C-alpha cells in the first residue's frame, strides 16, 4: 500500500476547510505548505517518516526566515491537527510526540494601540493629495467609532443590518450579536462609502460584486491587503512610530477606553469578547508613563508628598473632563474628531474640508 505523504494530508485538510468556508484556516494550511516545500522535498516526506527533529528543524528554518513565533506556532497547531487525523487513520503513531520540541502556544505581541495624540494625528492628516490614503484613514476611524469592528465584519455589513438608526450584526469570528446606535459622526463616514448598487446586499463599497461565497471572499481578501498596504503607507507618512493595520483600530478603542477608566467588563462587552481574560490580552502593554502614574497612585496611599502630587494630577484630569462633553447615550465615547473636519477651539467641530 502506498504510504501517504504529509503534503497529501495537508492538501486534503485544506480542501476540507475550504468546503466548510473556513477560508482563514485554509489559507494558513496552504501558506504553511508553501514554507514546508521551501524547507524540504515534500513529495518524499511520508507520515511514517516524520520525527520531532524534522519539525524542530522546520521551526528553526521559519524563525531564520523572519517568521514570527506566533505565526510558526499557528502552523504547528495546524500540523498537529493534521497528524492527529493521520494517527486515527493508522498513518503514524503517537502524533503528540512529534510536537514536543516546538512552540505551539501564544506569545504576547508588541503594543498595537495608538495613543490619543497619535489617533488625532491620523484624523487630522491632510490627505487630499493621496485619496487612497484618505479612504484607508476614513475606514480606520469608522472601525474605531464602531467599537473596533474588525475589517471582515465591516466589509460584510449588510444594508438590512441597520434598522431605526441602530446597527445590529454578528461577528464573523464568534457569531455573537452586537448592537450599536449610529451617531452623526459615524453616518458622516458611512455615507461617503455607501454601496450604490441596488442589487448588492452590502452596506459599503468593499465587496463590490455579489457572487458566490468564495468569489466574495476573494474580494474581501483583496480589499484587506490593499487596506493594510495603505494603512502602512499612512503610518510612514505621519511618522507615527506604530505600524497601522486593520486591527490597530480595535486595540486602540480598547486601550483608550481603559485609559478613560472604563471598567474592563464594559470594554469586554463592547468588543463582544467571550470573557474579560481575552480583553486583558489587549491591555497588557502599558507605557512607562502609565506605570509611573499607577506607582504614584500606590505611593499616595502612604506618603503625604506623593498624595499631594496625585491630587494635583487628578485635579488636572478632572478639569479636562469638565471641558470635554460626554455622550449621554454612550459611556464609552472618547473625544476624537471626524476625519475631514478641521479642528478648532470648539472641540473638533467645523466645516467639512473639500
* Residues 6+ away with beta carbon under 8 Å from 126: none
Residue 138: how many other CB atoms lie within 10 Å = 20
Residue 322 C-alpha cell reads as 469638565
Instruction: Supply the pLDDT for residue 315.
Output: 78
Residue 308: how many other CB atoms lie within 10 Å = 11
239 in the same domain as 254: yes
157 in the same domain as 261: yes
| Gyration radius of the chain over CA positions | 24
Residue 277: how many other CB atoms lie within 10 Å = 10
267 in the same domain as 162: yes
Q: Within a domain: residue 350?
A: no
163 in the same domain as 16: no
3-state SS class at 17: helix
Instruction: Supply the pLDDT for residue 302.
Output: 55
* Residues 6+ away with beta carbon under 8 Å from 136: 227, 230, 231, 234
Alpha-carbon span 4 to 57, nearest angstrom: 21
Instruction: Supply the pLDDT for residue 269.
Output: 64
229 in the same domain as 178: yes
Q: Within a domain: residue 319?
A: no
257 in the same domain as 126: yes
Per-residue HEC secondary structure of 20-71 comes to CCCHHHHHHHHHHHHHHHHHCCCCCCEHHHCCHHHHHHHHHHHHHCCCCHHH
187 in the same domain as 154: yes
Q: Which among 338, 179, 145 is positioned nearest to 253, based on CA atoms?
A: 145
Element (H, E) at 178: strand 177-181
Using an 8 Å Cβ cutoff, are 179 and 164 in contact?
no
Domain that holds residue 305: 288-312
125 in the same domain as 242: yes
**What CATH number does the domain containing 237 carry?**
1.10.443.10
Phi-psi region of 347 (alpha: psi -120 to 50; beta: other; left: phi over 0): left
Residue 217 C-alpha cell reads as 471572499
152 in the same domain as 190: yes
127 in the same domain as 271: yes
3-state SS class at 352: strand
Q: Within a domain: residue 323?
A: no
Q: Which among 13, 11, 93, 12 is positioned nearest to 47, based on CA atoms?
A: 93
Instruction: Supply the pLDDT for residue 72.
Output: 92
Which of the listed residues 65, 99, 133 is the one where a domain comes to its end? 99
- Angle subtended by helix axes 6-19 and 69-88, to nearest 10: 100
Instruction: Supply the pLDDT for residue 333.
Output: 47
Mean pLDDT by 10 residues, the chain (354 residues): 79 90 86 93 90 93 88 93 91 89 76 84 92 94 88 94 90 80 88 90 91 88 93 94 88 78 67 53 54 61 72 72 46 53 36 28
DSSP string for residues in 258-289: HHTT--HHHHHHHHT-SSHHHHHHHS----HH
Q: Which among 290, 271, 266 is positioned nearest to 282, based on CA atoms?
A: 271
Could you tell me the CA-to-CA distances from 113 to 241, 270, 273 in Å, in that order? 11, 16, 18
Instruction: Supply the pLDDT for residue 350.
Output: 30
Residue 314 C-alpha cell reads as 487628578
Give the number of domains in the chain: 3
Alpha-carbon span 119 to 126, nearest angstrom: 14
300 in the same domain as 268: no
Amino acid at each position: 500500500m502506498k504510504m501517504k505523504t504529509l503534503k497529501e494530508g495537508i492538501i486534503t485538510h485544506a480542501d476540507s476547510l475550504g468546503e466548510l468556508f473556513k477560508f482563514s484556516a485554509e489559507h494558513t494550511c496552504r501558506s504553511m505548505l508553501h514554507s514546508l516545500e521551501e524547507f524540504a522535498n515534500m513529495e518524499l516526506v511520508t507520515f511514517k517518516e516524520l520525527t520531532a527533529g524534522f519539525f524542530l528543524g522546520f521551526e528553526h528554518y521559519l524563525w531564520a526566515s523572519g517568521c514570527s513565533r506566533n505565526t510558526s506556532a499557528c502552523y504547528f497547531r495546524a500540523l498537529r491537527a493534521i497528524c492527529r487525523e493521520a494517527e486515527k487513520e493508522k498513518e503514524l503513531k503517537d502524533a503528540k510526540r512529534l510536537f514536543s520540541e516546538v512552540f505551539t502556544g501564544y506569545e504576547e505581541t508588541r503594543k498595537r494601540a495608538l495613543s490619543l495624540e497619535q489617533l488625532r494625528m491620523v484624523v487630522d492628516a491632510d490627505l487630499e493629495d493621496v485619496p487612497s490614503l484618505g479612504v484607508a484613514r476614513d475606514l480606520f476611524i469608522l472601525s474605531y467609532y464602531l467599537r473596533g469592528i474588525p475589517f471582515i465584519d465591516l466589509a460584510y455589513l449588510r444594508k438590512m443590518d441597520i434598522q431605526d438608526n441602530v446597527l445590529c450584526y454578528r461577528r464573523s469570528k464568534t457569531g455573537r450579536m452586537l448592537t450599536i446606535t449610529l451617531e452623526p459622526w459615524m453616518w458622516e463616514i458611512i455615507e461617503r462609502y455607501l454601496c450604490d448598487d441596488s442589487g448588492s446586499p452590502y452596506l459599503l463599497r468593499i465587496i463590490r460584486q455579489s457572487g458566490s461565497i468564495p468569489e466574495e471572499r476573494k474580494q474581501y481578501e483583496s480589499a484587506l491587503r490593499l487596506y493594510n498596504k495603505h494603512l502602512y503607507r499612512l503610518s510612514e507618512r505621519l511618522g507615527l512610530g506604530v505600524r497601522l493595520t486593520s486591527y490597530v483600530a480595535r486595540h486602540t478603542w480598547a486601550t483608550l477606553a481603559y485609559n478613560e477608566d472604563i471598567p474592563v467588563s464594559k470594554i469586554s462587552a463592547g468588543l463582544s469578547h467571550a470573557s474579560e481574560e481575552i480583553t486583558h490580552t489587549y491591555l497588557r502593554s502599558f507605557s512607562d508613563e502609565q506605570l509611573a502614574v499607577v506607582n504614584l497612585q500606590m505611593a499616595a496611599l502612604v506618603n503625604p508628598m506623593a498624595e499631594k502630587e496625585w491630587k494635583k494630577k487628578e485635579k488636572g484630569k478632572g478639569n479636562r473632563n469638565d471641558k470635554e462633553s460626554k455622550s449621554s447615550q454612550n459611556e464609552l465615547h472618547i473625544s476624537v474628531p471626524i476625519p475631514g473636519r478641521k479642528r478648532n477651539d470648539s472641540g473638533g467641530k467645523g466645516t467639512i474640508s473639500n
